[in-house]
Chains A and B, each alone.
Chain A
Amino acid sequence: GDSVTQMEGPVTLSEEAFLTINCTYTATGYPSLFWYVQYPGEGLQLLLKATKADDKGSNKGFEATYRKETTSFHLEKGSVQVSDSAVYFCALISGNQFYFGTGTSLTVIP
């Protein structure tokens, strides 16, 4: 069946470090792909999305590229800030169902 696998956390980085959170997927057809972010005590917010192969989604300095050949949608940011500390979820739509990864917790220390 369809699924999303993302790297285990937690991830701890120093401020201004480079961030990569890996996400791979299994799906039939051509799913749309998403990254959501959840700040402490809040709901999930859409961070970025990509709807077809080779699309790059970007927002707030974060980027992810839809790679159909490797079935991946890795999240990257060149220089993280303390305010980026949150849980990040990779997700896809297949059919009319959403599939979420288990989330990766990121802590950025000053």
Chain B
Amino acid sequence: NAGVTQTPKFQVLKTGQSMTLQCAQDMNHEYMSWYRQDPGMGLRLIHYSVGAGITDQGEVPNGYNVSRSTTEDFPLRLLSAAPSQTSVYFCASRRDPRYEQYFGPGTRLTVT
């Protein structure tokens, strides 16, 4: 049981490049979320999904796309990277809205 996994662990992009951050969970959780963590700002919700085929925007969705074709996977796409997207990105999952979240180890992204 690997929990929540994220790849890559580190990534450097140039402004304007696109990429996909991968997230997978093996706990059969319906709810999955993407957060970004910036110094002094805590965690901010980017997008979330309440089940396969259903996604919604969080607090800071601009510049990011998501899709959820399977229960296990929830990739985050950066369409055209900007320096303001330099951050640490965490994926999380939970069984039900009433329960705690489980976090992946994070992806540290630098955009130059």
* Residue positions of A touching B, CB distance < 8 A: 32, 34, 36, 42-46, 49, 89, 93, 95-98, 100-103
Contact = CB atoms under 8 A, between A and B. Distances in A.
Nearest to B40: A102
Contacts of B98: 32, 93
Interface residues of B, number: 21
Contacts of A44: 43, 90, 92, 101, 103
A49 B100 CA distance: 8
B55 to A, nearest CB: 14
Interface of B: 4, 31, 33, 40-43, 45, 50, 90, 92, 97-106
Given A93-B97, A96-B31, A96-B97, A102 B41 contact: yes
A100 B42 CA distance: 7
| Most-contacted residue by chain B among A44, A93, A97, A103 (CB, 10 A) | A44
A98 B40 contact: no
Contact of A101 (B40, B42, B45, B92): B42
Contact of A95 (B97, B101, B104): B97
Given A43-B90, A49-B100, A95-B97, A89 B42 contact: yes
A3 to B, nearest CB: 11
Contacts of A98: 33, 45, 101
A102 B39 CA distance: 9
B104 A43 contact: yes
A85 to B, nearest CB: 17
Given A89-B43, A103-B42, A43 B106 contact: yes
Contacts of A93: 97-99
Given A100-B43, A101-B42, A102-B40, A46 B100 contact: yes
- Which of B31, B90, B101 has the most CB atoms of chain A within a 10 A radius of its CB? B101
Contacts of A103: 42
12 contacts: A43-B4, A43-B90, A43-B103, A44-B43, A44-B103, A46-B100, A46-B102, A49-B100, A95-B97, A96-B50, A98-B33, A103-B42
